[in-house]
Structure 1
């Protein structure tokens, strides 16, 4: 069932129930008022006839004759008068006797002064009446035909009014639901037009204030992220193709040249060494791509746990020195007398080590003496790591792009690389809610500053 239909039924059902409750209350209130008014009317008619009999001394036969000539329907009041010994003094029509006055009933009237009850459609009132020092028991019974007719008429009016209102409510609810959900329909139509080839399209945001506009804004923000992700993926695939092609082409060229004719053993050895160097470059590139993919995961998919930055940093230093024994990496920890435990954070040990290794390798690689310094300190709740070298530095125009995957700056002529290390380190640090910044002067060196909020 569509939301429009469900909303129409919900609004119609609630409104119809409220109106039905109102109709029932009106009907019941009118029915009670009619009943009370008719009881009072019976009481007045009974007193009037008793006065005619007792005060005016009209012959009972005359009163009975009047009653019989005007009877023929239940609307005629039937009056009976008894004394306190339950002896019948007068009865409009004892042979008809719409209600039987039993001794128990008369006793009840004598005790309670006045009683009211219904007998089918008949209404009965009995009361004690004092006249000229004597007490009399009077009963009156009749059917309020006119009152019941008006009550039935009211029931028809209320019933048809409720049905007419219900039809109007359903129509109004349908158009209201349609109007309220029109932005959703427009959004659905626009979303159906959006594909992987035109992610630049956006859904209309309406007035920018209500919940529909908020949904549209959120959806457009998601499309922005998807578009950026698709563009990055396209660029990533393009760069991978380019980076893999270079070592593979070089390797195939070396092997084809070696296989073209017989050569001395030293030339074969030299060709194999070149092929091995290209293969190592492919391995480094593959490992870097794998680490870059891991760093691009949703943070919810990566396991974080409490760890110490000093331990991760020293493990990364050992890994770099094991691969490049001629590198020199000096690590200094600055601690004051009141220094907090600024080395503990929540993070992923493997990814952080990859980031630190890349920053240390980068510093040593672009230094003539292959030496760099790492200083670890803290300030205002943040752990700060500075990776400094005195190498060739970074050209000013390259600084905005150093964290772009596969970007190689002007200093690429000094050392081999894939253009993945710094972007990978940046992603890992941002994944840990940290910050990374760089300061560099050409020919003087570079300093990368990393900040983490410690526990």
Structure 2
């Protein structure tokens, strides 16, 4: 069932319930009014006939004749008059006697002065009547044919109007729900046209403040993020292809040249060494890409546990120096540490070691003295790690781009690399809810500051 149908049905049901309650109240009010009015009419008819009998001294036969003549055309009121001893003084039609009064009825009227009740569909009223100091019981009864007919007509009219109203309301609900949801249909049709090849398409912004305008705006914001993500993915794939193609092309060329003719052992060793170097570059690139993918995982899928940052730094230094024995790395504690928690945080030890190793390796390989100094500063809530070198530095224009994947600045001719290290480091730091900043002077050196919250 579509939203349009649901809205139409809900609107119809609610309106039908309101109409039904209103119709029931109207019918009940009409029913009560008919009953009250007819009881009052019976009372007046009874008093009138009692006055004719006692005051006007109209004889019984005349009154009975009038009753019988009227009864042939209308539902005439049947009146009976009793004294307080249950002696019948007058009756319109004793042969018919629809009410069939009992002494109990008469006693109840004497006690209450007036009683009203139904006998089948006939309404009956009994009242106390006084004449010349004597008390009499007047019983009046009749069937309200005209009143019941009016009620029946009212009921039929209400039913017809109710059914017609429901049909009309449902049709109106369908029309207005279609009108209200037409922007949603436009949005759906527009979204269906958006694919990976045309992510530049956007929904029309109605500039309104309703929910549909907010929905369109949210869709457009999502499309902006998707477009940026797809563009970044394309650029990422393009950069990977370039980084893979260069060493692979070099390896293929070296191997092809070595197979063209006989070579000396020294030449073969040179080819093997060059090929090995290129293979190592590919291995480092593959490792970096794998680490980059790990750092891009959802944080909920990464294992975090209590980790001492100084121990991770020592492991990272050992890893870098094992691969590059000429690198010098000093670790300095700037202030006293009172307990282990000030040096600990919830983190992933492997990813943190990758990040620190990247910063150490960059500091060493871009410095003539191949040295990196790491200072540890403990604050009440945070721990700050400073990676400082005295290398060639980074120009101010390139500092904003150094964390972009595969970006390599003007210093790329100074040493080999693939442009993944710093972007990977930034991802890892942000994954641990930390911050990383950089300051640099050309010819003076570079300083990276990494800040985490400790336990």
TM-score (normalizing by structure 2): 0.94
Q: In the alignment, what sits opposite 1:435?
A: 435
Q: Which residue of 1 aligns with 2:112?
A: 112
Determine helix, strand or coil for the equivalent of 1:393.
coil
Unmatched tracts of structure 2, length 5 or more: none
- Partner residue of 2:162? 162
State yes or no: 1:294 paired with 2:294.
Answer: yes
Q: Which residue of 1 aligns with 2:189?
A: 189
C-alpha distance after superposition, 1:164-196 (max 9, x if no partner):
322332222112211221221111011011011
Say whether the 8 Å CA contact 1:74–1:143 is kept in structure 2: no
Moved more, 434-443 or 71-80: 71-80
Provide the rounded CA distance (Å) in 1 between the counterparts of 2:210 and 2:349.
44
Deviates more, 1:303-312 or 1:150-159: 303-312
Partner of residue 62, structure 2: 62
Tell me the equivalent position of 1:239.
Answer: 239
Q: Distance in 1 between matches of 2:48 and 2:208?
A: 77
Question: Which residue in the other structure is 2:97 paired with?
Answer: 97
Aligned counterpart, 1:248: 248
Q: Structure 1 pair 214/376, CA: closer, same or farther in 2 (3 Å)?
A: farther
Structure 2 CA distance for aligned equivalents of residues 307 and 321 of structure 1: 22
Q: How does 1:22-421 map to 2 (within 5 A)?
A: 22-72=22-72, 75-335=75-335, 341-378=341-378, 381-421=381-421
User: Measured at CA, do residues 72 and 98 of structure 1 come closer, stay the same or move farther in structure 2, by a change above 3 Å?
Assistant: farther
Q: Which deviates more, 296-305 or 265-274?
A: 296-305
Shift of 1:378: 4.7
CA drift at 1:336: 6.1
Distance 2:205 2:380 in 1: 42
TM-score, reference length from structure 1: 0.94
Q: Root-mean-square deviation (CA), in Å?
A: 2.2
Q: Deviations over 1:88-130 (max 9, x none)?
A: 1111111122222133333333333322222333111122333
CA distance in 2 between partners of 1:423 and 1:149 (Å): 90
Q: CA deviation at 1:340?
A: 11
Secondary structure of residue in 2 paired with 1:386: strand
Going from structure 1 to structure 2, the CA distance change for 1:361 and 1:208 (only over 3 Å counts) comes to: farther
- Verify the 8 A CA contact 2:390 2:445 in the aligned structure 1: yes
Per-residue deviation, 1:239: 0.7
**Shift, 1:39, TM fit:** 0.9
Deviations for 1:56-79, whole angstroms, at most 9, x for unmatched residues? 222111111111111125621111
- Deviation larger for 149-158 or 238-247: 149-158
Query: 1:380: Cα distance to partner?
Result: 7.4
Distance 1:108-1:347 versus aligned 2 partners, 3 A rule: farther
